[in-house]
Structure 1
Amino acid sequence: MATTTTAQALRLTLQPNDVLPENLNWKIQEGYIRTATWDEEGETITLGVWGPGDWVTAAYSALKPVEIQCLTTVVVEQFQPEPADIEALLLQQIKNLEEIFQVNRIRSADQRLLALLAWIGRRFGQVSSRGYRLSLKDMNLTHKSLADLCGLTRVTVTKMLNRYKGEGVLQQISKDDLFIPSVALVPSVI
């Protein structure tokens, strides 16, 4: 009779701004994470934003270093991917990069921020035929982190968010939730 001993997967609870060890694969149980690197001047370049059900690793990136940073309180579990999991991750990484790149190529700062909010709403919010509902608080996306994601300054993001709310482009549903009506999005932003 043979006995098999299976090591229990490492499970961590981390706080916002904590960094996960990059030499392991992590399945996100709760919370939000971003993967990032830096340019020569030390400016952060976001490579992806990940949420519950996704898994992250630095193992399949050509860029070095890649930091896996918690945006919120996060619960992750060490994960041993199968080949199909790796293929799905690589496809999602490509999709994330392309979408973030597309947002960052929008020349108009107004449209760039709106495109970023729509992307976050599609990816992590509630989608309806009327638009996207998202909670920046749930994802711990401050004005500074939004600015980092789309290459603007924090002051510019704050001014534009206030203006969007005043013009009805963004609707404040509750203290923490925003709604972006589909009619507010021009075709080049979607």
Structure 2
Amino acid sequence: MQSILPSVVSRLPVQPATRTFKRRSTIPLQQIALWRIESGVVRTLSWLEDGSTVTLSLCGAGDVVGKFLCAIDPYQIECLTDVEVTPLSPNEWHPDPAFLLERVQQAEEFMLIRSHRRVEEMLLKLLTWLSKKFGREVQHGHLIELRLTHQDLAEMLGTTRVTITRVLKQFEQQGIVQRLPNQVTLLQPEAIWHYEI
């Protein structure tokens, strides 16, 4: 019996400790039910019959993603930055209740952001959320350390790239954001609270 066990174990597929994926690549879902993000940011998404995408979540270091956690089909994981991930088996993952609570809260926040009627409100709420999750405090506000295109923001909010460009320009003129190539700084919170829709 002891001689059979090592040969069986040696035939089991060995998963690499970590894998690296480039920005804009997709993380494979076959054979691996869960991925723990070690560094970088991904978005999970689905799409509708008309081809429009629906962002389900944005996840960063420490988060766990994968088909095992989602009942939506189709389902995809896209890298928004270069990403390092570790494969996990559902059997070896024992989530902390705080992790599950955070996932539920994030889903609720996304639903609330998308529920606003006006794009200006949705975008402002999304930028505020992004600044908390993926930002850092700088002299004049919160720098969102995530390269998102206008198309990315449009897909997250279910609108068009042209509309996002127009609203961001309006926000910049009103002193709500400061834009540099591939960067947005959400200016001091008091600027936001005085924004009238």
Structure 2 matches for 1:106-185, cutoff 5 A?
106-126=116-136, 131-135=141-145, 139-172=146-179, 176-185=183-192
Give the alignment partner of residue 21 of structure 2, picking from 14, 30, 37: 14
- The percent of aligned pairs where both chains have the same amino acid is 31
Deviation at 1:101, TM superposition (A): 0.9
Using the alignment, how far apart are the partners of 1:103 and 1:127 within structure 2? 22
CA 90–39 in structure 1, closer or farther in 2 if over 3 Å, else same: farther
SS at match of 1:133: strand
CA 172–36 in structure 1, closer or farther in 2 if over 3 Å, else same: closer
Deviation at 1:13, TM superposition (A): 1.2
CA 19–60 in structure 1, closer or farther in 2 if over 3 Å, else same: same
SS at match of 1:37: strand
CA 24–51 in structure 1, closer or farther in 2 if over 3 Å, else same: same
Find the counterpart in structure 2 of residue 96 from structure 1.
106
Does residue 39 (structure 1) correspond to residue 53 (structure 2)? The answer is no
Give the alignment partner of residue 86 of structure 2, picking from 67, 70, 77: 77
Structure (1 or 2) with the larger CA radius of gyration: 2
Per mean C-alpha deviation after superposition, the further-off stretch among 160-169 and 10-19 is 10-19
Using the alignment, how far apart are the partners of 2:127 and 2:25 within structure 1? 24
Find the counterpart in structure 1 of residue 3 from structure 2.
none
Q: Provide the TM-score with structure 1 as the length reference.
A: 0.81
Using the alignment, how far apart are the partners of 1:153 and 1:166 within structure 2? 20
Using the alignment, how far apart are the partners of 1:168 and 1:156 within structure 2? 18
Using the alignment, how far apart are the partners of 2:98 and 2:16 within structure 1? 21
Give a deviation string over 1:130-184, Cα, whole Å, max 9, x none.
Answer: 853313xxx2310000011112210111111112112111134897341332123
Deviation at 1:88, TM superposition (A): 4.4
CA 84–14 in structure 1, closer or farther in 2 if over 3 Å, else same: closer
Aligned length: 183
Using the alignment, how far apart are the partners of 2:21 and 2:101 within structure 1? 26
CA 101–175 in structure 1, closer or farther in 2 if over 3 Å, else same: closer
Matched letter for residue 100 of structure 1? F
Deviation at 1:186, TM superposition (A): 3.8
Using the alignment, how far apart are the partners of 1:18 and 1:8 within structure 2? 20
Matched letter for residue 78 of structure 1? P
